[in-house]
Amino acid sequence: MKKQIYDEKNGMSYTLHGDYYLPDLVLREEEPTYGKYGMLRKQFLKEHRSARYQYMLLTGKLNEHLNQIDQEVREQVETLMEQMIEKQGVTEELKAQDQMKWVRLMNNIKASAEEIILKNMVYV
């Protein structure tokens, strides 16, 4: 028996392992470089969209999707924070005058921006 065979019907090659020919499968995945938001999206997909998660995992598109979501969410949070900072009048002068108030406002702005973006981009 040949060690390797190629099936022209489906375009796959097979390697002999013992008495059986097993397909030579290789996943071409993007490196997982995602951060906090990518991990949140992955957990959401696992728990609430398991069919979609399994499909993306098996087709090798999961890491690409998670990297993209992570980058987009980070950009959206930064943009929204900048808009909220401007609207609420949080300035460097306030930071110099009352640091604790500035920290409270910035933490509140970040939490609000994250909540809005996570609801619209990660948990869908």
Residues 17 and 47 reside in one and the same domain? no
Residues 20 and 34 reside in one and the same domain? no
The SS3 of residue 63 is: helix
For 50-90, how does the pLDDT look when each residue is reduced to its tens digit (9 = 90+)?
999 999 998 889 999 999 999 999 999 999 999 999 999 99
Identify the sign of the CA torsion 44, 46, 48, 50: positive
Region 97-102 average pLDDT:
96
Residues 83 and 72 reside in one and the same domain? yes
Residues 5 and 18 reside in one and the same domain? yes
Alpha-carbon span 38 to 60, nearest angstrom: 16
Residues 95 and 107 reside in one and the same domain? yes
Residues 84 and 49 reside in one and the same domain? yes
Query: What residues make up the domain containing 37?
Result: 30-120
Residues 55 and 16 reside in one and the same domain? no
Residues 53 and 110 reside in one and the same domain? yes
Q: How many residues does the chain have?
A: 124
The half-sphere exposure of 75 on its side-chain side, counting CA atoms within 13 A, is 6
For residue 25, the model assigns a pLDDT of 78
pTM equals 0.73
